[in-house]
Chain A
Amino acid sequence: MASVTATATAIRRGTGRVRRSWLIVGTLVAWVLLWIPLRGHDTLPLPVAQLRPLHQRLNDLNVYIGNHRASSPFFTGFVNVIRSGIADLTTFLQSLISQPSYDRPVPVVGWLGVVALAVLVGYVLANLRMAVLAGVGFACFGLLGVWQESMDTLAATLAAVLICLLIGLPLGVWMGLSRAVERTLTPVLDFMQAMPTFVYLAPLTLFFLIGPASAVIATFVYAVPPVIRITAHGIRGVPESALESSRSLGATGWQSLRTVRLPMARRTIVLGINQTTMCALSMVTIAALIGAPGLGQVVVHALETLDVGTAFNAGLGIVIMAIVLDRVTTAASVRVEQGYRRGVGAAGLGGSLGGRLSRRAGRRLLLAGLGVLAVVAVYLSYTFVWAAVFPASDSGGLLGSGVVRGINAVDHWVQLHLNSVTDGIKNVASYGLINPLQSLIADSPWYLTCAVVVAICLAVAGPRTLPVTAICLALLIGSGVWQDAMVTLSATLLATVMVMVLGVVFGVWMGRSDRVDRVLRPVLDAAQVMPAFVYLVPFLGLFGTSRFTAIVAAVVFAAPVAVKLIADGVRGVPAEVVESAASSGSTAWQTIVKVQLPMARRALTLAANQGLIYVLSMVVVGGLVGGGALGYLVVAGFSQISLFGKGLAAGVAIVMLGILLDRITQGAARRGGARSGRSYWMGRTY
């Protein structure tokens, strides 16, 4: 019955869709026809070193703010207080584990102490396996010769996570309790999450200068939404029956919160903390561009000097850090779920009382042992140089120098022998896809491109999206970097199309086969927690600096989320519908094309939306490896004072592109009967 009505609506919607797709095709044909005579006219180009008046004014503003930083009450009383507070927190953490401090040549806790603490924390939060994982992972930082950088990254991540939790947890609880707060916060969080990673770096440096404070604040902005959202979700999701019974016994609101809501939402909240931690790590590495200390810096410098080996080595450090943090916090959420059972043991009725008791005593004993060990290790690492400075850290680490040399050798070999292959791929892609598309979009007169965007917006998303579209286009023109924005747009669109192709192929495959799903899903999950940075390195090694490298890295970064969304969409098609298609003699291909994909339409639009956001967030990162255009301008803005204003404008242009693409795809999703897809955060569904 339900499926009959669904089909009816689908058919009704279908006719509208056909008309709309003709409109899109017509628009595109008209665009190409007009482009032929008009190409190269009114494209609003601007060479890198040249500035528009707006950029000059932004430079002046930067100078002006610089001059008043020490005198204006807004700065001395507010901005500087925040800045120094956050900087102090970060410096304090660094002085504990990474930087020479308190008149000592080494940090307070040396490597031995940190490794022992990592083991202890791993065990306290999770279990023995996680403790071992944490210990081995941390030891790897030293072996790779990036101990100090890793600890810097860890310190900055911890600082950001601390602030996120301090602000995010109460806010999340409040949002979970109050509909009004939820209504107020949701659009703010939506906005924060739709922002391409990065673009708030420039405005932040305007106020907070380049340095750890800006980096940590940027990380906070990026990482705090998940913990707020997921905490609120957990608090709200507590079953009404439990709350009602608590109320019926006369519990106050506070008592209900403490005894019912918080304990029952515990596991979800820890999952939120996991997500926030992973976001923070990702952003801390990227925020190296505005002075975040640590592994990100190494990667950035290595990318700038094309030292693939060093970049890979540091990237490996980031990957290990990501794995340790993710595994330990995920295991912690499971443990929290069972944590209140400590007295009884999760085995419950099955486990004998004696077994439970001995398990409990065993854990106590091990905990005490590890605690003593950690204290001893911390003391040793405080006192002795051998326990403070990782062995062979001067010569690049026991393994690190080998990794660097090995990867550079491989890179060399690739350059030498695979050159024809990689160049071939690159050239085919460049001449066959990238150049034509870029030429069409960036060499069209601005008014033609604007008209096309408006027409497509009307066709895809409907008139409601038109005002936002118009404003975004106007601001893009006003930013003075129109042509660069169009180059970036073409790369973004191309990457998104590739993401969608991958998404549909693998998503359908996963959606139709449990086995494939079981194999691929953990890989995708792992890929998603990796900080964006590390995706650049291998492709840089293969393809050198080029637009193609940046695009491929963006595709690889964005593909997992799209694949998972589409797989879930295909999986969500009711089994009876698929069976009825099969029973009426459809081939597998017909079932996919005529039943599963159309019914997963919502997931497809959602995947396109998320794919765009992810791709766009890689634009700036891609600027480091030859992505050019807006990404390059943003990066240049950080390093060259004369380009500050232009970089800022480029950042705004990225935001405008982001909003434009987000609104249009969201509008399309709405028309397809879909709700907003914000519940997908880093690909996990809540």
Chain B
Amino acid sequence: MTGVTGDATLDVTGLWKVFGPKPDRVVGTPLAALSRAELRERTGCVAAVRDISFTVAANEVFVVMGLSGSGKSTLVRCLTRLIEPTAGSVRYDGDDIREADPRRLRELRRHRFAMVFQHFGLLPHRRVIDNIGYGLEVRGVRKDERYRRAGEVLDLVGLSGYADYFPDQLSGGMQQRVGLGRALAVDPEILFFDEPFSALDPLIRRDMQNEVIRLHHEVGKTMVFITHDLHEALRLGDRILIMRDGAMVQVGRPDEVVGAPADDYVRDFVADVPKSHVLTIRWVMRPVRADDPLDGPELGPDVVVRDAARLVLGASSPVRVVSGGQLLGLVDDDAILRVIVVDDERRGASRAVAAGVDTAEAGAGTAETAAVEG
């Protein structure tokens, strides 16, 4: 729960969503302490989201991660009240959205939020350009203005030339670009993504992730991104919230989650991650001992292990980790090698299995890229 920079745009406290008969009787009673399974057995209710609190800063990419069924979709829908929360508060710049009346809620959705869905949710009877302009149309924007803006967004998401196509004439990745474009067209303050790339092939998924990273650089929106894929979470997230059975397990920066898993659930999750790509040298440095030579090169604590490796291994003395003129610790060959060797062993074991799949995907991916470019 550290590292929040800037003002909190979105502030969620004590959020609950209970599906089932009479959900109100659960929150704030002893029933709330029961596990999900027990609660279902006793009351027939499913606690999809249990007591979640977090804040998202402006321009931050906040990722919510968990296995399927852990309540991610429900959570993100509660944030815009596509699903009505059972308890808790969701504040945008201090306003509690739960108190908004239907008109105000519609205004918020029209101007400040936009969402990208796992199954795209495109309107099959509308052309790409009309799908992208849909939010503006709903808002009552004039037709020529709508098309002008939609045309800009079309270029932004890399779909120039596809304006007159219908969704089912596009590949999955391109369809999701339309979904992305539709969300961007309304120029929202916050973008919500509910597993937007889960339905796509792995290589296209990588493309789309890069696309999101690029867009985040270009338009710089606040994003709440749902995924069940840890790699995606680590690539995109400034911070990551890990959910299990509706409850929050851990929130933190990627290196915090990988370096200091809160429990075995998270540890299992991150076991397969190439640590050298995520961990910063802060996580592998050791305290300074009296007999240490202090003539090694200097690095900041937030350099990723992989990037530090060459320098550390090449130097004759341990690298000094320095922040604000203060010596935090030392990193020696041993520490770096431990991380990299573990990664290598893991990769070696999985490469044999994955090799066949990879080539097949590469082929599909090339075709996909060609289609987008062409």
Contacts and interface: CB of A to CB of B under 8 A. Distances in A.
Nearest to A262: B125
Contact of A249 (B134, B166, B169): B134
A237 to B, nearest CB: 13
A266 B126 CA distance: 13
B106 A244 contact: no
B109 A249 contact: yes
> Interface size bucket, A side?
20 to 34
Interface stretch (B42-50, B52-60, B114-122, B214-222): B114-122
Nearest to A337: B125
B127 A259 contact: no
A348 B114 contact: no
Interface in A260-276: 260, 263-264, 266
A247 interface: yes
B138 A250 contact: yes
Given A259-B137, A343-B164, A348-B166, A245 B117 contact: yes
B186 A259 contact: no
A255 B138 CA distance: 7
B334 to A, nearest CB: 52
Contacts of A244: 82, 117, 121
Interface in A287-302: none
Contacts of B108: 250
Interface string A320-357: 00000000000000000000110110001100000000
A240 to B, nearest CB: 9
A190 to B, nearest CB: 29
B149 to A, nearest CB: 14
B107 interface: yes
A335 to B, nearest CB: 13
A259 B134 contact: yes
A416 B68 CA distance: 79
B124 interface: yes
B265 interface: no
A249 B110 contact: yes
A251 B166 CA distance: 21
Contacts of B82: 244, 247-248
Contact of B127 (A247, A252, A343): A343
B125 A348 contact: no
A348 to B, nearest CB: 5
A251 B138 contact: yes
Given A249-B138, A344-B166, A259 B123 contact: yes
Given A245-B117, A247-B82, A344 B164 contact: yes
A181 interface: no
Contacts of A255: 138
A248 B114 contact: yes
Contacts of B121: 241-242, 244-246
A-side binding surface: helix, strand, loop or mixed? helix
B139 interface: yes
Nearest to A253: B102
Contact of B135 (A249, A252, A264): A249
Q: Considering residues B107, B108, B111, B169, which has the most beta carbons from chain A within 10 angstroms of its beta carbon?
A: B169
A601 to B, nearest CB: 33
B80 interface: yes
Interface in B195-248: none
A244 B77 CA distance: 10
Given A247-B82, A248-B82, A344-B166, A241 B134 contact: no
Contacts of B166: 341, 344, 348
B182 to A, nearest CB: 8
A248 B123 contact: no
A248 B124 contact: no
Given A242-B121, A264-B125, A344 B110 contact: no
A252 B164 CA distance: 26
Interface string B157-192: 000000011100100000000010010001000000
Nearest to B113: A248
Given A251-B138, A343-B127, A349-B169, A245 B109 contact: no
Contact of A250 (B119, B125, B135, B182): B135
Nearest to A247: B82
A250 B109 contact: yes
Contacts of A349: 165, 169
Contacts of B182: 245, 249
B125 A252 contact: no
A504 B137 CA distance: 55
Contact of A264 (B80, B117, B124, B138): B124
Q: Considering residues A249, A260, A344, which has the most beta carbons from chain B within 10 angstroms of its beta carbon?
A: A249
B123 A249 contact: no
A259 B115 CA distance: 18
Contact of B125 (A245, A248, A263): A263
Q: Considering residues B80, B114, B124, B138, which has the most beta carbons from chain A within 10 angstroms of its beta carbon?
A: B138
A645 B23 CA distance: 59
A250 B117 contact: no
Contacts of B135: 249-250
B137 A245 contact: no
Given A250-B106, A343-B127, A245 B122 contact: yes
Given A263-B125, A344-B164, A348-B166, A248 B119 contact: no
5 contacts: A241-B117, A241-B121, A245-B115, A245-B123, A246-B138
Interface of A: 241-242, 244-252, 255, 259-260, 263-264, 266, 340-341, 343-344, 348-349
Given A242-B124, A245-B182, 10 more contacts: A241-B117, A242-B121, A244-B121, A245-B123, A248-B117, A249-B134, A259-B134, A341-B166, A344-B164, A348-B169
